[in-house]
Structures are given as C-alpha cells and as structure tokens.
Structure 1
Amino acid sequence: MDRLVFTSNATIKEQATARQVLVNDLANVSTVGFKSSYDVALKTVKVNGPGFDSRFQAQAMVRDQIRLTPGPIMATGRPMDIALAETAVMTVQAPNGDVAFTRRGDLRVNPQGQLENGSGHLVLGNGGPIAVPPGMNVSINPDGSIYAKDPAQPATAPSVLIDQLRLRDGSDTKLGRRQDGLFKVDGQPDGTDIALGNAQPRVIPQALEGSNVSAIEAMTKLIDHSRSFETQIRIIKETKALDESGASMMKNA
C-alpha cells in the first residue's frame, strides 16, 4: 500500500512542474511578443536507499527554453511599433544592466529621451541605449534603422538616421528565459550576446506580434492535468480505505 501511495504522490509532484509552465503561458496569452516554453522534459535520477543500485526514477525538470514560433501579426499603424520577423530578437538592457533579448516591440520614448519597449527595458543600438532627440518624429525601417524628422521642417526634408536596432537571429541559438522574463543564451552566463550569423534579422514596421500561446491548447492541457490530479487523489483515498479495512480485519482476527 505504501508503494502505491508513494507512486501517486510522485506523480502529483512531477505534474505540478508542468502545470507551472502551463499557467505561466496561459497568463501571458495576451502579452505582446510573449513566447511560450517547450514542454517539461524528464531526467533520470538514481534512487538512494536500501535496495538494488540499479533503481532509477524519472523526474520532471524545467529548462524554460523559448519556443520562437511566430505569433499573429497585428497592424497598428503606429510608427514606433515593430514586430520581429521570423526568428529575429531585439537586444535590450535588463534591469541589472545585462544584455538580454526580447520580441516585444511596442516602443516608446521615456522621459529621459531614451527608447524603451512596453516593459520598460531600454532598447540597445550600436553604441548602447538609443537616445531620441526631443520633439522628433521617429520611424523605423525593416532593416532596423531608426530615423528622426523634425515636424517643423517641410515635408520634403529628409529624415536623419539616429541609430540602428541591435537585432540578432535566434534560429541557430537556444534561448532560455531569465528571471525577469527576458531571453538569454541557454547554457551561457547572463549577458552573453548572440553570435552574428549570415541571416539578416528584419522587423515589420507599424505592427505588433501577439503571443504564440494557444489558449485552447493550454486550457485543454490544464484540464487533463486536473483530471489526472483527481485520479491520483482518488487512488490515495482508496488505498487508505483498503489499509484501514486490512487493519480492522487483523484486529478482529
């Protein structure tokens, strides 16, 4: 009986890890540029204690690797909105100063005159955080070049190049999620940059990318986990009832 209860408890514990990933994905189904994580993986752990040395048990583990599947593109018409095309990521400055990456492209100019996204992370250019001259109209080209134009000038006046978005191609790089929600190179220290490749990352101007989380799929998986949890609890209750019946039979014998 004890072995059956132990097995049910272990199942509940392992499924709790997967539920955490699902709940986080579902909570960000409407977040701009959010990327879901790959499903929970299993690793083999040696069981310590009396018995044979060949006893091993599967244990769930979360590496939180980013799934760069594109989300739906929503045209906004706003000059400072961008959607990262294909597997491109944008380099930003994390709250602790590290170099990190994101797909969130709802850009704006903060009170300090620096370009940041909707999460408040400073967008990095060729020389660090991108500064925008006050009172200028900003536009972004598909190659990531940022132009500014004085609205007081004639319409025929050319725009001035002020910086270039530091874009990286994530197709050949495994990305993980940091504690602050930004992306990093998986398996490398925080702040590690992505090596430049042959592909030229591009953006889609005046558009935003929605979350790539499927709400229906996530809800279906959560329902399956809930049913499995109820099944394991029922097994534990039935095991307890059988154990009590056996104890009562032995007592009356």
Structure 2
Amino acid sequence: MDRFLYLAMSGAKENLYAQAINNHNLANANTHGFRQALGDAYTVPVRGPVYDSRDYVQVRNEAIDFSFGAEQSTGRDLDIAIQGEGFIAVQAPDGGEAYTRSGNLHVDVLGVLRTERGLVVLGGGGPITVPPNENLLIGTDGTITIRPGGSGANTLTTIERIRLVNPDVKTLVRTENGLIRAGDGQAQPADANVRVVTGMLETSNVNTVAALTQMIELSRHFEMQIKMMESANNVEQTHNRLLGIG
C-alpha cells in the first residue's frame, strides 16, 4: 500500500504547486505587461537495485509564457507599449538589473523616472532623471525629449534614451519577487531595433477564462488524489484487521 499512498501524495503535492502558479496568474490578470507562469510536471522513476519500482511526479523550474498581451489606449504621454519583442530595462530593489514590459511610467518628486511598481527606469547612463519641464515626449526609439520650463514652444532638449533590450527569452528567469532577469545575472545590451508607441499600454497575457477553468480542473485533480490516499488508508486498515483475525 505504500506505493499507492506515496504516488497519490506525490500527485496531490504537485497539484497544489500548479494551483499556486495558476492563482498567481489570476491575481495579475490586470497587471500591465505581466507574463503568466507555466507549471511543468513530469514522471521520475524510483531507481531500485533490480528494477524501477514506481514513478513519482516532479516539477521543472517555472517557465514563462512570453506571448504578447493586448494593447490598450490611454492617451497619456508617459505610457508606452513595446511593439513586438523586447523589454524595458529597470533597476531591481537589490540594485541589479531586471526587465519589464509594463510601460505605465511616472516621474517621482525627485525627478526619477519609475514604473508603476516604483522601479527605476534605466537609460544608457544609468537611472533616468527628468528635469522640470512643461512638456515631455518619448520617441519610438525610447528617446526622452522635454521642453524646459519657461522656454519657447520650439525649444526641445533630449535628456536620455530609455534602454530597450531584446535578450533571448530562453535565457530569462522569473525571480521570487516576480521580476524577469537574465539567467546569468548579466546586464543586457541595448537593442536599437526595439520600438515603442506612446499613449498605449500592454495588458497582461493571462486568459482569465482559461485560468478559471484550469483552477476548477486542478481542484478536481487534487480531490481525486486525496480520495486515492483515503482509499489506500482504508485498504491498509482492512489488511491489518484480516491479519489480526488469524
């Protein structure tokens, strides 16, 4: 009975893991630029001295779905959406470099350009600082142009260019705080081919209907595994009673 019990336990454990991933996706269905996570499970045989006695469920590292989300018009000058592949380089809370497609930017009280989550946006020379201005424009290549306060209507000044990168998505990983980073931890070079459009935001790529359906399916699978564990326990108790009769 131990084989029956441990197999059911293994399945129930990984069902809980898959449910946690799915719930995280659902919680971020309205997060701009969010990329849903994918759970990946496979069977692993238990190696014995003579033959493989049984198989258990094992999960691989969490994968990321890099398919594009829909574009949403906002008309706001500091909202940008990446056209096609690519990411915006930002500074993670630990000082390292991370990447996002969330383009709802703002300038804080110190003039630092940040994302909605408060992450500092990086340019070619590091964190981008925006001087006081009467107007700000972001070009398709990420170049930030302002009209300084008190200047004429035709007086424009280029202050920095948002660092847009396009690394191989196979080398990217999601960290515990939800940020996307390079697997080797190295900063990625700017890619001049990445383009953005202003006044737009990219939505999450989570399909809420599919995620809700998967949540129900995973719950049923978990209940089935629990019932199998209960059945294994009942059979074991029956065996013990039969052995006790003799």
TM-score normalised to structure 2 length? 0.90
- Structure 2 residue aligned with 1:179: 176
The answer as to whether partners of 1:66 and 1:174 remain within 8 angstroms in 2 is no
Instruction: Tell me the alpha carbon deviations over residues 114-144 of structure 1, each in whole angstroms, 9 at most, x when there is no partner.
Output: 1001000000111111110124421111111
Write the mapping of 1:1-253 to structure 2, written as runs, cut at 5 A.
1-42=1-42, 44=44, 47=46, 51-52=49-50, 54=52, 57-150=55-148, 152-155=150-153, 157-171=154-168, 173-186=170-183, 188=184, 190=185, 192-195=186-189, 200-253=193-246
Amino acid across the alignment from 1:13: K
Tell me, in whole angstroms, the C-alpha distance in 2 between the residues paired with 1:159 and 1:53: 75
Tell me, in whole angstroms, the C-alpha distance in 2 between the residues paired with 1:216 and 1:29: 11
Tell me, in whole angstroms, the C-alpha distance in 2 between the residues paired with 1:146 and 1:89: 17
Gaps of 5+ in 2: none
* 2:37 partner SS: coil
Tell me, in whole angstroms, the C-alpha distance in 2 between the residues paired with 1:66 and 1:193: 20
Tell me, in whole angstroms, the C-alpha distance in 2 between the residues paired with 1:252 and 1:209: 69
Tell me, in whole angstroms, the C-alpha distance in 1 between the residues paired with 2:19 and 2:148: 51
* 2:63 partner SS: coil
Instruction: Tell me the alpha carbon deviations over residues 171-212 of structure 1, each in whole angstroms, 9 at most, x when there is no partner.
Output: 5653111222221113x1x3x122556x70111211111100
Alignment length, in residue pairs?
246
The answer as to whether partners of 1:91 and 1:100 remain within 8 angstroms in 2 is yes
CA RMSD, Structure 1 to Structure 2 (Å): 2.3
Alpha-carbon offset, residue 6 of structure 1? 1.2
Tell me, in whole angstroms, the C-alpha distance in 2 between the residues paired with 1:252 and 1:84: 74
The answer as to whether partners of 2:164 and 2:194 remain within 8 angstroms in 1 is yes
Alpha-carbon offset, residue 238 of structure 1? 2.1
Instruction: Tell me the alpha carbon deviations over residues 208-237 of structure 1, each in whole angstroms, 9 at most, x when there is no partner.
Output: 111001111111111111101111111122
TM-score normalised to structure 1 length? 0.87
Alpha-carbon offset, residue 53 of structure 1? 6.4
> What percentage of aligned pairs have identical amino acids?
31
The answer as to whether partners of 1:148 and 1:161 remain within 8 angstroms in 2 is yes
Gaps of 5+ in 1: none
The answer as to whether partners of 1:100 and 1:184 remain within 8 angstroms in 2 is yes
